[in-house]
């Protein structure tokens, strides 16, 4: 059973997370501030830490600096408006971020994705005629190499790590470019279109109206 530490000072949110993750089969521990979080991290080895950015005394970012040495994956919990926080969190080495208020199903899906990714490493993914080697970044179609730019590859990896989950354009941009999204949707659209075309995944990478894109593992 995976052991998850929730560092969140708002009790109703912490309890909601614990309830939904416990239902999903995880063991959860709550720390209500950064210092308590640090104490837990010293005492027990967790499989994943959910870390609120806005905490009293020690902030989530400060705690992240400390947690790093333990090599435990971290998902930040951040407010909708704090774009800078999200980017800073990713730069500090977080695996993902969840925007509050969040949907319980999305929370469970993201936790699952990070745990699966973290405990399995890279490896190879094969889908029909396409093979993606996540470690060497080599992609082949019918055994022949597909020439992807680094950004196209990063987008592809993001899709593979978020199967059947609709990704906002801003999320794709922030995860792949590592900087705040300033509203230019064309950059993302252009890269996704090229990626689709190169892989022949016009249907597999579906456009989601007013959101962005969703990678569909079972092509419709």
- What number of H helices and E strands is found in the chain? 8, 12
Nearer to Ca ion, 107 or 192 (CB): 107
Strand 130-133 versus strand 124-127 pairing type = antiparallel
The conformation of residue 69, written as its DSSP 8-state character, comes to G
Q: How far apart are CA 192 and CA 118, in angstroms?
A: 25
Nearer to Ca ion, 38 or 54 (CB): 54
Nearer to Ca ion, 52 or 96 (CB): 52
CB of 13 to Ca ion, least distance (A): 8
Nearer to Ca ion, 36 or 52 (CB): 52
Binding residues for Ca ion, rule: CB under 5 A, are 9, 52, 54
Q: DSSP of 92-154, one letter per residue?
A: TT-SEEEEES--HHHHHHHHHHHHHHHHH-S-EEEETTEEEETTTTEEEETTEEP---HHHHH
**Residue 173 burial (10 A CB sphere; 0-12, 13-18, 19+):** buried
Nearer to Ca ion, 58 or 140 (CB): 58
CB of 55 to Ca ion, least distance (A): 6
CB of 51 to Ca ion, least distance (A): 10
Cα torsion through 141, 147, 151, 156, rounded to 10: 0
CB of 32 to Ca ion, least distance (A): 10
Nearer to Ca ion, 9 or 95 (CB): 9
CB of 76 to Ca ion, least distance (A): 11
The secondary element (H helix, E strand) that includes residue 56 is: none
Residue, CB closest to Ca ion: 54
CB of 107 to Ca ion, least distance (A): 16
Angle at 100 between CA 62 and CA 2, to 5 degrees: 70
What phi and psi, each to the nearest 5 degrees, are found at residue 115? Answer: -65, -40
């Amino acid at each position: 059973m995976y052991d998850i530490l929730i560092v969140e000072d708002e009790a109703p949110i912490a309890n909601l997370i614990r309830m939904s993750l416990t239902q999903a089969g995880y063991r959860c521990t709550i720390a209500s501030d950064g210092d308590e979080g640090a104490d837990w991290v010293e005492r027990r080895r967790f499989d994943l830490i959910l870390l609120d950015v806005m905490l009293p005394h020690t902030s989530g970012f400060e705690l992240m600096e400390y947690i790093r040495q333990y090599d435990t994956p971290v998902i930040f919990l951040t407010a909708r408006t704090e774009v800078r926080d999200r980017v800073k969190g990713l730069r500090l080495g977080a695996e993902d971020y969840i925007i509050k208020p969040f949907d319980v199903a999305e929370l469970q899906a993201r936790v699952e994705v990070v745990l699966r990714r973290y405990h399995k490493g890279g490896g190879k993914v094969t889908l029909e005629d396409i093979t993606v080697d996540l470690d060497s970044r080599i992609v082949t179609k019918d055994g022949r190499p597909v020439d992807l730019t680094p950004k196209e590859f990063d987008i592809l990896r993001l899709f593979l790590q978020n199967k059947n989950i609709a990704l906002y354009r801003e999320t794709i941009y922030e995860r792949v470019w590592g900087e705040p999204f300033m509203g230019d949707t064309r950059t993302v659209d252009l890269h996704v279109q090229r990626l689709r075309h190169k892989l022949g995944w016009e249907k597999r990478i579906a456009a989601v109206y007013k959101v962005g894109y969703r990678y569909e593992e079972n092509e419709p």
